[in-house]
Amino acid sequence: AQSVTQPDIHITVSEGASLELRCNYSYGATPYLFWYVQSPGQGLQLLLKYFSGDTLVQGIKGFEAEFKRSQSSFNLRKPSVHWSDAAEYFCAVGHTGTASKLTFGTGTRLQVTL
């Protein structure tokens, strides 16, 4: 069965600083990979997805993620964080044929200091 590990429970960065959130997955075949963001009291919003092709994926709000098969990783990055990026971020993995039945990581809470 697939699994997802987000090793950082909580991260604090200064506004304007760069950000990298880590995600490692376990799945035998080529995975479908996702990053979602959740603001307090809200549902999850899709930031970006990787299905195949170019391993560097661009998403909304200036985020990008890179799929590295050799490291089983799909880390989320942003070059300059804004205070409005403070939220909880979830990495998720699906698989071909059931990409919408996802296994989620436990989330990373991002705090942005001014």
Partner 1 sequence: DAGITQSPRHKVTETGTPVTLRCHQTENHRYMYWYRQDPGHGLRLIHYSYGVKDTDKGEVSDGYSVSRSKTEDFLLTLESATSSQTSVYFCAISETENSPLHFGNGTRLTVT
Where on the chain is the footprint of partner 1 (CB under 8 A)?
4, 32, 34, 36, 41-46, 49, 51, 90, 92, 96-107
Residue 70 or 100: which CB sits closer to partner 1?
A: 100
Q: What b/e string do you get for 93-104 counting C-beta neighbours within 10 Å, with b at 16 or more?
A: bbbeeebeebbe
Q: How far is the CB of 17 from partner 1 (least distance, A)?
A: 26
Residue 17 or 46: which CB sits closer to partner 1?
A: 46
Q: How far is the CB of 16 from partner 1 (least distance, A)?
A: 29
Phi-psi map region of 5: left, alpha, beta (phi>0 left; psi -120 to 50 alpha): beta
Q: How far is the CB of 80 from partner 1 (least distance, A)?
A: 26
Residue 70 or 98: which CB sits closer to partner 1?
A: 98
What are residue 69's phi and psi, to 5 degrees?
-60, -40
Calculate the alpha carbon distances from 19 to 27, 33, 95 in Å. Answer: 26, 19, 27
Q: How far is the CB of 46 from partner 1 (least distance, A)?
A: 5
Look up residue 114 and give its DSSP letter.
-
